[in-house]
Amino acid sequence: MNPSSGTSTGAVGCLLAGLGAATAALAWAPRAAVNVEGGFEGHARDLSVLVIDLPLVLLGGALVPLLAWVMTTRWVGRPWIATLAALAALALGVWGLLEWWTPRQPPHPGYGHGI
């Protein structure tokens, strides 16, 4: 093993973690926009999605592909297989996020139950 392979392996791991965090945040943002913007005059605004949900989404998005990549690199030893496994884990993680997480959305924010 040459010394530059450790550096390149670490760089690939960091790149996958950054890609995972960015992808998870981009998948999360459209659903969270309803709570951040609120309804009429910000009546249904809930900023807890920025304080609680966003850090968890970023952490999960960074850790899921990174852990898959590290485990596959240790067991298989081939970086291209580990990269494919990390991308597959990221895709499954984003799919799971979109299936499981839905922020609270009142039926008509700001308008109540009607007249």
Rounded to whole angstroms, what are the CA distances from 15 to 35, 54, 79, 86? 30, 20, 13, 11
Tens-digit pLDDT profile for the chain (115 aa)? 444 456 677 788 889 899 999 999 999 888 888 777 776 666 667 788 888 888 989 999 999 999 999 899 888 878 889 889 999 999 999 998 888 877 666 555 555 555 5
Give the domain ranges of the chain.
9-100
- Give the per-residue pLDDT at 3: 46
The residues, any chain, with a CB within 8 Å of residue 68's CB and separated by 6 or more, are 82, 85, 86, 88, 89, 90
Q: Identify the residue whose tokens are 């530059």.
A: 4
- Give the per-residue pLDDT at 40: 65
- Give the per-residue pLDDT at 113: 53
- CA distance linking residue 43 with residue 34, whole number of Å: 11
- Give the per-residue pLDDT at 42: 64
By CB atoms closer than 10 A (0-12, 13-18, 19+), residue 86 is buried
